[in-house]
Structure 1
Amino acid sequence: MLDHVYISVTDPERSLAFYAAALEPLGFAPFGTYESASGPDTVPDLWGLSDGGHGRGIASSIWLRQRRPGETGLYLGLVADDTATVDATYAAALAAGATDDGVPAMRTYFADGYYAANIIDLDDNRLEIVNKAWNT
């Protein structure tokens, strides 16, 4: 299941207004920002939209980030049922040729119970495998 996607944009606040209007019929609405000063240098400022989960227990989110010069690619967050699945997926991805972009660990700078691993695929796309303790 899709958990979240990062979209790199040239003007995050303008793009937030655009995505809020364009995706409103799908149930997406702005829900907050993430200030990069509270986490590691590798995580940028983020502007978030969410579909609220529609009663499913797991909400999908879109995070807008400031595009950096020359940046391309995709950042995709995928839901894992438990932390063991995060670990297994990370190991399988590395064995298949991925590059480490963050070992499996708690990411408490996002929230308590946020356990994730990050990899880079063969074409420089980023994948985050995540288990959130509050998801059912």
Structure 2
Amino acid sequence: MKSTEIYPADYDNHGRLKLPFLFWCVLLLQARTWVLFVIAGTSRGQGDALLALFYPDHDDFWLGLLPGIPAALTFLLSGRREHFPRLWRALYPLVLLAQLVLLVWQPWRWYTGEALSGVGLFLVIADLFALWWLAANRRLRACFSLAQH
């Protein structure tokens, strides 16, 4: 059986559990529309074409920004989590909910007429893995627990 213990190396110099590396990847996955927005904003003259490539329907783009809000808040508060313990604890279920929304959203887009694509399939698989990992990772749950603060 695999050991799920938390080791001393998992703590930082301040005695807090370090957030797992994969958590940062999940946050980027959740904030993918925000990342695309920043890339489109920094690309000179090609931003509209880039946004139209991934989001032909502008309403989908604006809706895509919503699930990235908990990820952005989590990223911003991660270094100061001891100063906002209640907000930090509340972010874990919000991140889980946002991941569930992202998992359901892509098949919903297919159902409403968007063409099935390899990128869409990859996103569904990545979203499914991310949701499983967020719910199952013991160290991550410990990072958000009350005992950490």
Looking at secondary structure, tell me which structure has more strand per residue. Answer: 1
For the criterion TM > 0.5, the same-fold answer is no
TM-score for both structures, normalised by structure 1? 0.30
Looking at secondary structure, tell me which structure has more helix per residue. Answer: 2
Which structure's CA Rg is the greater one?
2
TM-score for both structures, normalised by structure 2? 0.28
